[in-house]
Each structure stands twice: as C-alpha cells, then as structure tokens.
Structure 1
Amino acid sequence: MSTSPTDGIPLTVGNSRVKEARKLSRRSVRTERRLFLADGPKAVEGALSVEGCVVEVFATQGAQAQYADLLDGTPVTLVDDRALASLSDSVSPAGLVALCRHIDSPLAHVVTVAPRLLVICADVRDPGNAGTVIRTADAAGADAVVLAGQSVDAYNPKTVRATVGSLFHLPFAVEPDPAAAVRAAQQRGLTVLAADGAGEVDLFDADLSGPTAWLFGNEAWGLPDELAALADQRVAIPIHGRAESLNLSTAAAVCLYASARAQRSPR
C-alpha cells in the first residue's frame, strides 16, 4: 500500500482534488465526467475487484490502518476527517471513499451474454429500492440488471451504498426506453414476466424454469399498462393476509428467488 505524494500530510476539505471529487454528488457532473464515488469498505472492495474501475482511493489515516489488507497494493490519498466526511453522504463515514469510473454496459451487451435471469427496472425512482433490487439480483444469481426509463441514477451515492458492493458484481445497463429493454430480452429468447398485482398468473403457478426477464415498475404506480402489455405474462404475488401489497424490493426478492429455485431444481 502506498500513499499520495503529500509526504503523509492528509488533504483538507479545501484541497482542489477533494473539491472536484465532491462535485460528483451531482448527477449532472457524474454523467458528464462518467465518474462516481463509492463510499465505505464494501463498495471500495467491490470497485477494486473491477479492473480499471478505481481512479483514486481517499482514506483517513485511521481507515488506512484499519483496512490495510483491503488496500494492500492500492495507492491511497490521505485526507483528514472533515475532507472525508465531505465526500460521504453516510451519517457515520467509514473513512474510505473510492473515485471510480462508470461501469455500466450497453443494453446489447448485457443481453448478448445469454442470461437465464435478467432484471428490468422501469422508472424505479428510490435510490434505496434500486440498490436493494441490484443486491437481491446478485444474491439470487441473476445475470444482469437493466435500469430503464426514468430510473434513479445507478451511481447515486445512496444507490451505490444500498447495493453493499453488488453494483460491481454483475453487469448492468442503463436504457432510456423500457420498451426497448423488453424487446431486447424477448429477442434473446427470454420470457418477460411483468410483476403486477393484477396479473392473471399466480407466481406459484407460473413456469419459471426457462430463461426469464422480470419486469418491475415504479414504487408508487407500478407498471404502465402499455409497458406491461409488452410482457409475455403478468404475474401476481399472492397476498394471503390483509396487507394491500408488497413494496418493490420485497416483491423483487420473492420473484427472483422463485425463479432461482425453479431454474436450479432437478428436472
């Protein structure tokens, strides 16, 4: 592990490099520069596992010592506590932030890898929900995630943190047109299933054994009728109690694990 050329003197909050990195809190700057910040040891560990992703790691002296094994062989820029806090949106920063290059892939690429389980999020606006869906997709063994339409920025600090490193574990694409994502999946031979509370097929009656793309909609209003109509089937999760519905990330977990179980069951 090596430190930045500051003779061991941590950079302060007023340093120009810290100021430039801090601008990445704005989506417009992240998009223009194709850079983002990964905050915390899990995110930094994930970023370091992707070749060419990490540009620079900022760390406090305490974090550099605490995470010495993680940072072994990685150049580290020392910053003081205030500077680090200015780069983190966490209430209790862990003292470690990586400056990273964008890692999303074109839609054509993520469907060309012949996925058996794909996740398409259409207009998912909440950073925590989007991050949790990515984390769940990773845990369920999905092959890729597509953030479509007006979905939240995958590089939003809250989204990155909610993935707990999973953002770096599986390919994902950003596609402005949700319909294009559905059609691309179908052209690759995937059955597109729209998660819809009013769906005509019960989740536990659906055939989930083949290559599948799950289509999830907005947290508040779900899927537009015209988009859901493009799916091969609308699938409803049965509600056995008195709850009105499940929230997005919970519904995604139920659907993805149902698919994971079906695809892994002996035939």
Structure 2
Amino acid sequence: MNTPLSHANSRVKEARKLSRRSVRTERRLFLADGPKAVEGALSVPDCVVEVFATVRAADEHAQLLADAPQVWLVEDRAMESLSDSVTPAGVVAVCRFLDVPLSDVLARSPRLLTVCADVRDPGNAGTVIRTSDAAGAAAVVLAGHSVDPYNPKTVRATVGSLFHLPVVIATDPGEVVSELRSAGLRVLAADGGGERDLFEVDLTPPTAWLLGNEAWGLPDELAGLADERVAIPIHGRAESLNLATAAAVCLYASARAHR
C-alpha cells in the first residue's frame, strides 16, 4: 500500500474530474462508488484502472481490493471529494466505459431487450438496468436524450448490474426501433393509453420493451413505430405506475412467458 493521498493530490484531482460528463466522455472513464460497484467492475476483465480507498475501507475490503490492478490509499476528505454519497463507503474505482454497439447485441439473437427513450432520472435509469438484469434481459438501450449511464447516481442505482448487462447508447430512438424490428424482435411500447392489455398479449416471441420519459411517456410518433402499444391494467385508483415499476412488470411478464 502507500501513504494516504490528500484531496489536493493531483491523482485524486484528476479522478474527481470524472464527476463531469464531458470529462467522462472525453476520457471514456467513469467512477464506480462503493464496494458492490467495485466488486462488479473487478469482475469485468480490464475494466478497472485504479481504486481509491480509505485506510479503514482498505482493511475492511482487503480481499476485494486484492484483485485491483492498483490501489491508492486516500484520506477521508479525499474520499468525500470522489464520492457523491452522503456517507461514502470508502472505496471508489476508476473504470473504463462498457457500452457496446447495438449490432453486437443483435448478433447474439436476444430474446428480451429494454429500450429507454429520453429517460432523464439517474435513479430510474439505474433501476431499469438492475431490473432488466434480474429479469434476464440481454441488454438495455439508452436512446435519445437519456441520462448518461455513467452518471454516479445511475451507476450506484444499478447496484452492480451495469457490470453484468450490456448497455447500448443510441442517438435516435426511432432508428433503434427499426433496427430491432429488422432483426426479428417484436417491439412493444409500454403506454398507459395502449390498446392492448399486457396480460392479453402473447409474450413468447423475442421482445423489446420500449419505455418513455418519466413525465410525458412516449411521443406518439415513436410509439407508433412499435408493433403494439401495451397498457398495464390499473385495477385501483392510482393514475399510473412510475417508470421503474412499469418496467419491472413488463419485463417479468416477458420473462415468465419465455420460461
């Protein structure tokens, strides 16, 4: 190990710059905060560049850090500057980007995909990635003006699933839908005003679920590109389900049908 680095150390300062999306994009590096995220990152070959840890965390997670290519001890104040958590867990990794082209995903003949169009909330995006992983989806596509998957809040909300599940970043949601349909997937738009009831739809074919923005859902022109608009039935008096819950219901309905 080494003498703990202060918050003013140049290496700590350079890592701290990764809190900005522009710097992450330029360097294709991001921060994974907390032992669960670091564990996930270390499970991916060549993903982790280096790890920063407080003395206490290094002792507590010694077995985990043994697999890291480089570990730097840091003072508590330095850790606070690297972590966006209210109570830092004491370990942060600098990681290489993991996103893949959509063509790579489609080459594996996936049976279940999640497509997020203009999903802006980091917590929602992270939860959808985590839920997609749990339901056995082959990948998550973040399309349009969706949040950066490497946003610290998004990474934390995936609880490690970012390192288990391929993520695609796409500019045009409409082009994504066209590519998916051309590859033989049926695209279902999760739409509260959809004409089909989720539990009346045949979900056995390979399926991609298209999810919209938290506030305004899917634009009509985008939803119209899907094979069908599907609504989750609301049996009580709730106006709707939030994005992450709707994603979970749709994905697990498909997972059940596929099994």
Could you tell me which amino acid in structure 1 is paired with residue 161 of structure 2? Answer: S
For the residues of structure 1 that align with 2:177 and 2:106, how far apart are their CA atoms? 11
Q: Equivalent pairs: percent with the same residue?
A: 74
How far has the Cα of 1:111 moved from its partner?
1.7
Could you tell me which amino acid in structure 1 is paired with residue 121 of structure 2? Answer: D
Which of 15, 34, 40 does residue 34 from structure 2 map onto?
A: 40
Match of 1:188 in 2: 183
Match of 2:230 in 1: 235
SS at match of 2:62: coil
Could you tell me which amino acid in structure 2 is paired with residue 11 of structure 1? Answer: L
How far has the Cα of 1:29 moved from its partner?
0.7
Which of 151, 161, 166 does residue 156 from structure 1 map onto?
A: 151
How many correspondences in the alignment? 258
TM-score norm. by structure 1 comes to 0.95
Q: Which moved more, 1:75-84 or 1:129-138?
A: 75-84
For the residues of structure 2 that align with 1:116 and 1:185, how far apart are their CA atoms? 11
Output aligned runs, 1:133-212, within 5 Å: 133-212=128-207
Match of 1:128 in 2: 123
How far has the Cα of 1:184 moved from its partner?
1.3
Judge conservation of contact 1:56–1:76 (CA < 8 Å) in 2: yes
Judge conservation of contact 2:187–2:209 (CA < 8 Å) in 1: yes
Could you tell me which amino acid in structure 2 is paired with residue 29 of structure 1? Answer: V
1:23-78 deviation line (CA, Å, top 9, x unaligned):
11111111111110000011000100111110000001111111112112323111
For the residues of structure 1 that align with 2:5 and 2:166, how far apart are their CA atoms? 34
The answer on 1:50 being equivalent to 2:44 is: yes
For the residues of structure 1 that align with 2:228 and 2:213, how far apart are their CA atoms? 18
Could you tell me which amino acid in structure 2 is paired with residue 188 of structure 1? Answer: A
For the residues of structure 2 that align with 1:182 and 1:73, how far apart are their CA atoms? 40
Could you tell me which amino acid in structure 2 is paired with residue 27 of structure 1? Answer: R
Match of 2:63 in 1: 69
The answer on 1:113 being equivalent to 2:108 is: yes
Match of 1:15 in 2: 9
Match of 1:99 in 2: 94
1:137-179 deviation line (CA, Å, top 9, x unaligned):
0000100000000000000000000000000001110001001
Q: Which consecutive unaligned segments of at least 5 residues does structure 2 have? A: none
Q: Which consecutive unaligned segments of at least 5 residues does structure 1 have? A: none
Q: Which moved more, 1:164-173 or 1:69-78?
A: 69-78
TM-score norm. by structure 2 comes to 0.98
SS at match of 1:28: helix
- Name the Cα RMSD after superposition: 0.7
1:71-118 deviation line (CA, Å, top 9, x unaligned):
123231111110011000000110000000101001211222111000
The answer on 1:24 being equivalent to 2:6 is: no
Could you tell me which amino acid in structure 2 is paired with residue 211 of structure 1? Answer: P
Could you tell me which amino acid in structure 1 is paired with residue 241 of structure 2? Answer: L
